[in-house]
Amino acid sequence: MLIAMMALGNVAPAEVGLALVPRPQEVRVTGAPVPLNPTATIASDPEFKGLERTWREWVRPATGFSFPPVSAGQPATLTLRKSSDVTLGEEGYSLSVTPQGITVLAYRPAGAFYGLQTLRQLLPPAIYARTRQSVEWTIPQVEIRDVPRFQWRGLMLDVARHYQPVKEIKRFIDLLAMHKLNTFHMHLTDDQGWRVEIKKYPRLTEIGAWRSETVIGRNTGKFDGIPHGGYYTQDELREIVAYAADRFITVVPEIDMPGHMVAAIAAYPELGDGKPAEVMKEWGVSPRVLNTRESTVQFCRDVLDEVMAIFPSRFIHIGGDECPKDQWRKDPEEQQRMRERGLKTEYELQSWFIRQMDAHIQSRGRRLIGWDEILEGGLADGAAVMSWRGTAGGVAAAKLGKDTVMSPTSHMYLDYYQSRNADEPLAIGGFLPLRGVYSFDPMVAEIPEDKRHHVLGVQGNLWTEYMKTYAHVEYMAYPRGCAVAEVGWTNQNLRSFDDFLARLGVHLERLTVLGVNFRPMSPEDVP
Ligand code: TNX
């Protein structure tokens, strides 16, 4: 049925009543809903055993059902079974709900986890409550087969402009997991704050993690007089990494260089132009950047070594964005180094710098990713490109045979205004309503057929200049994050904004139960 309607060139409406977000690739409703009883049990193949606890933690508070395990071979209400179907891949699953029982089939644990996330969404929204609810727990009878479209489905949170406590970071991660997002990009350093403990360079956090005050509004020249700061110890970051890994989320750390480094330069002035600096209190791009002395390059390698020891992720983000070249242009020492290295332009110097990081990161068995400026002056060998200034950088990378993640300001900047209402809280600018996010297809037409596999996926970015609190982060992140999730997960031929909106109505009830401070829908969002 679904297939037939697609052949007509329409997007068949999803089962709106199910309101699954992101929309699974194949859903069939096969009968009337079945009740879930207090006597429900769980069984799983050895590889998925750890997920039994996850499931209990999710459903026990609201239902009071304890889902005891059954002994091997006995039938259970909910069974997590290892599939031999490799086409399910790392993250795919199938889910079958019948009066005889519920079965999640997956090839790998992440797939089983997503099967359970879908099952949780099939229960009434009250399932997300943390206290006992008197609700009739029923589950629609369905057959679902679901495999994500892209392998990189991410949100970036800038914890440099405004620090967020570990507890809030964990909540942020839980919301990613609920939406089957698998990548949490942590923007850990910037001009206004250094947020990662580096044992070899203690001043980075002693000095760099704190600013004396913050500009009021959009660089008004007036300051709030309130010190701001904070940082994550290496132990805390390991805790965050483990928490995310339990939810099948990779934390990609970013150390932004050679620009956006004023906090580090404030701590160690020898890294910059040598003059004293303060951690920045205003927003925008500073002309003060790292110098490219060998000792500074070594500093960056040392920092990345400690970072790589904390974060097991395959990709390490080195920023690379918005590095003004004036400081290098005017400094005779820098010009001398350029000549010695056989470089003609400051763009080549930036490229040289990134190549040093690329070689180092590759020598540790990892891969470098950076913002699309790293294409300028020549892209390093092992580099992948995060395309933010539109999609052109991503297209260029793919054409060069390099991997890319699409994150253009036009569709993925969740720091932009989400409505034109005058009462919208101050934001950086721009205008990116829910519909705009949803309309993005990361597989842009300019990418040749044989290079398409280089598009790893998609990412929404939360730059936090104007988000002082975690509640404000959630306000900017949702519901647009739901749209990012569906852009990353659901095949293009199954996506329509109207259908998404219809499901979102119920989905927002789930977020309400969870206490998420999402932006409520307003009439202008609805066509
Ligand atoms: C540009 S996107 C930046 C950030 C700002 C952001 C605000 C990027 C790689 N750099 O430093 O926070 O714009 O939208």
Interface predicted TM-score (ipTM): 0.94
Which residue, by CA, sits nearest to atom 10 of ligand 1?
321
User: Strands 26-35 and 138-146: what pairing?
Assistant: antiparallel
For residue 73, the model assigns a pLDDT of 75
Counting atoms of ligand 1 from 1, which one is nearest the CA of 386? 9
Assign 510 to helix, strand or coil. helix
Choosing from 239, 305, 322, 331, the catalytic residue is: 322
Q: Can you list the alpha helix ranges (DSSP code H) found in 364-406?
A: 392-399
The contacts of residue 222 (CB under 8 Å, 6+ apart) are 215, 216
For residue 417 and ligand 1, the question of a CB distance below 6 A is answered with: no
272 secondary structure, DSSP code: T
Please say if 260 is a catalytic residue.
yes
For residue 413 and ligand 1, the question of a CB distance below 6 A is answered with: yes
> d(Cα 65, Cα 120) in Å, to the nearest integer?
14
Residue 428: Cβ-neighbour burial (10 angstroms; 0-12, 13-18, 19+): middle
Residue in 334, 197, 215, 185 with CA at minimum distance from that of residue 279: 215
Q: Tell which phi-psi region holds residue 342, choosing left (phi > 0), alpha (psi between -120 and 50) or beta.
A: left
In terms of pTM, does the model score above 0.90? yes
For residue 322 and ligand 1, the question of a CB distance below 6 A is answered with: yes
For residue 7, the model assigns a pLDDT of 34
Residue in 42, 47, 48, 142 with CA at minimum distance from that of residue 94: 142
Residue 417 amino acid letter: Y
For residue 245 and ligand 1, the question of a CB distance below 6 A is answered with: no
For residue 193, the model assigns a pLDDT of 98
Give, for ligand 1, the residue of 463, 465, 466 to mutate: max count of ligand atoms closer than 8 Å to Cβ.
463
Ligand 1 centroid from CA 284, angstroms = 8
> Do 93 and 489 touch, CB atoms closer than 8 A?
no
Ligand 1 centroid from CA 271, angstroms = 22
Question: Distances in Å between the alpha carbon of 348 and those of 325, 355, 380?
Answer: 11, 10, 11
Which residue, by CA, sits nearest to atom 6 of ligand 1?
463
Tens of each residue's pLDDT in the chain, 527 residues: 333 333 334 566 666 579 999 999 999 999 999 999 999 999 999 999 999 999 999 999 999 999 999 976 789 999 999 999 999 999 999 999 999 999 999 999 999 999 999 999 999 999 999 999 999 999 999 999 999 999 999 999 999 999 999 999 999 999 999 999 999 999 999 999 999 999 999 999 999 999 999 999 999 999 999 999 999 999 999 999 999 999 999 999 999 999 999 999 999 999 999 999 999 999 999 999 999 999 999 999 999 999 999 999 999 999 999 999 999 999 999 999 999 999 999 999 999 999 999 999 999 999 999 999 999 999 999 999 999 999 999 999 999 999 999 999 999 999 999 999 889 999 999 999 999 999 999 999 999 999 999 999 999 999 999 999 999 999 999 999 999 999 999 999 999 999 999 999 999 999 999 999 999 988 776 66
For residue 3, the model assigns a pLDDT of 34
For residue 1, the model assigns a pLDDT of 30
Residue 284: Cβ-neighbour burial (10 angstroms; 0-12, 13-18, 19+): exposed
Copy the structure tokens of residue 473: 């982060």
Residue in 436, 426, 401, 431 with CA at minimum distance from that of residue 416: 431
Ligand 1 centroid from CA 463, angstroms = 7
Which residue, by CA, sits nearest to atom 13 of ligand 1?
463
Residues forming a β-bridge with 80: 44, 104
The contacts of residue 502 (CB under 8 Å, 6+ apart) are 13, 14, 16, 19
For residue 243 and ligand 1, the question of a CB distance below 6 A is answered with: no
Please say if 507 is a catalytic residue.
no
Terminal Cα-to-Cα distance of the chain (whole angstroms): 27
Give, for ligand 1, the residue of 192, 289, 322, 465 to mutate: max count of ligand atoms closer than 8 Å to Cβ.
322
For residue 16, the model assigns a pLDDT of 55
Choosing from 260, 317, 454, 507, the catalytic residue is: 260
For residue 466 and ligand 1, the question of a CB distance below 6 A is answered with: no
Q: How far is CA 218 from the centre of its chain?
A: 26
Counting atoms of ligand 1 from 1, which one is nearest the CA of 465? 12
Domains delineated in the chain: 26-146 (3.30.379.10), 152-525 (3.20.20.80)
Choosing from 52, 91, 158, 190, the catalytic residue is: 190
479 secondary structure, DSSP code: T
Counting atoms of ligand 1 from 1, which one is nearest the CA of 388? 2
108 secondary structure, DSSP code: S
For residue 169, the model assigns a pLDDT of 99
For residue 204, the model assigns a pLDDT of 98
Residues forming a β-bridge with 319: 257
For residue 72, the model assigns a pLDDT of 66
User: What kind and span of H or E run contains 500?
Assistant: helix 497-513
> d(Cα 308, Cα 303) in Å, to the nearest integer?
9
Q: Is the peptide bond before 520 cis (omega within 30 degrees of 0)?
A: no
Q: What are phi and psi of 190, to 5 degrees?
A: -165, 180
